Structures are given as structure tokens and as C-alpha cells.
Structure 1
């Protein structure tokens, strides 16, 4: 097995949450894509990061945007995950959303939304890391959508039991 296959297999063993990151293109149109490369960076200031493949369709639009939003998907939003992972035209015409305080799309009924301004970008191999400073936060009491070994699902009830 080659190193790339082993690397993908190893990372597939690490469950992650699923987000849809949204921004606006140069013409002010909403854009969005499913992302699981999302993490917290700092508390002071409030910083998060996500990464985008340099070959991604929306690479230029995202790397030129000054604001973006991270929509953390709820366990029942597998359809949104697949919609924004696809090449479907007019993704935003197929879901409910509204402009956030920063004017960028916020998806309806997500577990959380983080509105961000671009804080920094870091060139990292075949990806660009976008670091955002969180300017607005909205949370709902919902279970998150998880991604593990190329499957989507929710946290099993046993996870919540404490000894």
C-alpha cells in the first residue's frame, strides 16, 4: 500500500464534524462547499481554520473573500452535506438560508454558525489554510453530523454516558 493510501486510511479512522463553508464570489453571489478540515485555533482572539484544495472549483473565490461563514451541520443535515459536496448548479436555490451579519449565507437549522473575517492564509502544500477571526456565533442544541470512514452519521447514545 502506498503512503497516500495509508495516509487517507489513517485519517479516515479519525471522525470529524461536517461543515459547509460559505462566502461570496467577486460578483456578490453566494458560494459554498462541504468541508471537514475545520478546527479551532485560538481563544484570544477567537480563531478557527479550514483548508481548501488548490484545485477546488471555488478556490479563487474563497481565497479572495474577506469574510466567510462556517455552518456546522446537524445530524439530520446529510442532505445539505451532499448538496454542497456536489457540482449541482444553484445550490442555494435548493436549501434555506439567509444573509448573516456579514452578508454571507447562513444555512437554516444547522447546529452552529460562525461568522468570520479572514485573519490569515497559510500556503500548505496542495491546500491553502484559511484562518478566520470569529465575529458572530449562533448555537442550537443539536447533535452534529459526523464523518468517519467515508460514512456520515451521528454520535451513538453511549458516547454521552458518564461514569
Structure 2
């Protein structure tokens, strides 16, 4: 056990906690679509129905995302590793070639996720080097399937992560 807070070592310690993987999508005021990969998703409340996720303060789209009234959280399946990687990388149009649906407020919805939460931005909280976004769930859908999991800095299908392995 270490007593000093080494940021890289602390990040490795945080990585020991297995999380699901989500993609959060937005439509900016100028019509551009933004998608990001986030593993900080959490259910917060049933009444009212609230969810949360965190966004790095240094992210290039932070100010535009803060102005968005709606967002959609997609809980990814084990088959959606490439979608997660695509949304985690900088690109001019991360949605090129994807089949999309239109969600609340014109926000892009990506079919095929295990769960989708269409949200109205409810509140943001400054939290160190991140901003915590709280969303009021307006509509949701879910289906059966194996979740995509992130643990120890790697992706793993849910069943594989529970068995102790990671891709």
C-alpha cells in the first residue's frame, strides 16, 4: 500500500473497479453531432429518474456539451467494442457510416445497445478535473445481452470479466 498519491498509480487503482461502457451522444446548437465513450455512468434516482456520467474538463467539446439540453446514454453490448473505440478517438465525424435514429431534441441514437436512456440535462456539478452531468430520464429502452465491461485498462465481455479475464 502506498501513502503518496501518485496520479498514475491512483488511476491503476481506480481501474481495478470493473465498469460498464457507455457512449453518450449530443446534438450541438450548430447541428453537429458529438459522441463520447464514458465508463462513469451510474443510476442515481428512481424518483425522479436520474442518471449521471462524468466528462473530463479538458475535453474539447466541454463548453458546447454544457449548453446541450438533451443527451442519450447508450449502454454497450459486448459486440460494440469497435463503437466504443470509435467514440473514444478524436475524429471529424464519428458517426460516418453509422445507422442512426433520432432521439429527444434531435439527439443521435445508435441502435443495438443493451439499454438507451434519453435524458434532459438536469444539473452539472464541478468535480476536480471533471464535470458530473445529471440527466433526467425521459425515455428508456433495454434488451437482453452480454454487456461490454472495462477493467484493468482493457475491454472485456461481461462474462469474461466476471471469470477474471480481459481482452
Shift of residue 158 of structure 1?
9.6
Shift of residue 50 of structure 1?
0.6
C-alpha distance after superposition, 1:30-61 (max 9, x if no partner) = 11100111111111100000111111021112
Give unmatched runs, 5+ long, in structure 2.
none
Paired with 2:77 and 2:57, the residues of 1 have a C-alpha distance of 27
Paired with 2:130 and 2:97, the residues of 1 have a C-alpha distance of 28
User: Quick check: 1:49–1:131 contact (8 Å CA) kept in 2?
Assistant: yes
Look up the match of 2:17. Answer: 14
Q: How many residues align?
A: 160
**Structure 1 residue matching 2:95: 3-state secondary structure:** helix
2:63 pairs, out of 45, 60, 63, with 60
Look up the match of 1:139. Answer: 142
Question: TM-score normalised to the size of structure 2?
Answer: 0.90
**Structure 1 residue matching 2:34: 3-state secondary structure:** strand
Shift of residue 156 of structure 1?
2.1
1:100 pairs, out of 94, 98, 103, with 103
Shift of residue 102 of structure 1?
3.3
Q: Which is worse superposed, 89-98 or 71-80? A: 89-98
Look up the match of 2:52. Answer: 49
Look up the match of 1:156. Answer: 159
Paired with 2:74 and 2:128, the residues of 1 have a C-alpha distance of 25
* Cα pair distance change 1:157/1:14, threshold 3 Å: closer
Paired with 2:161 and 2:88, the residues of 1 have a C-alpha distance of 30
Q: Which is worse superposed, 76-85 or 98-107? A: 98-107
Q: CA RMSD in A?
A: 1.8
Shift of residue 72 of structure 1?
0.7
Paired with 2:75 and 2:92, the residues of 1 have a C-alpha distance of 22
Question: TM-score normalised to the size of structure 1?
Answer: 0.92
Look up the match of 2:83. Answer: 80
**Structure 2 residue matching 1:32: 3-state secondary structure:** strand
Shift of residue 103 of structure 1?
1.7
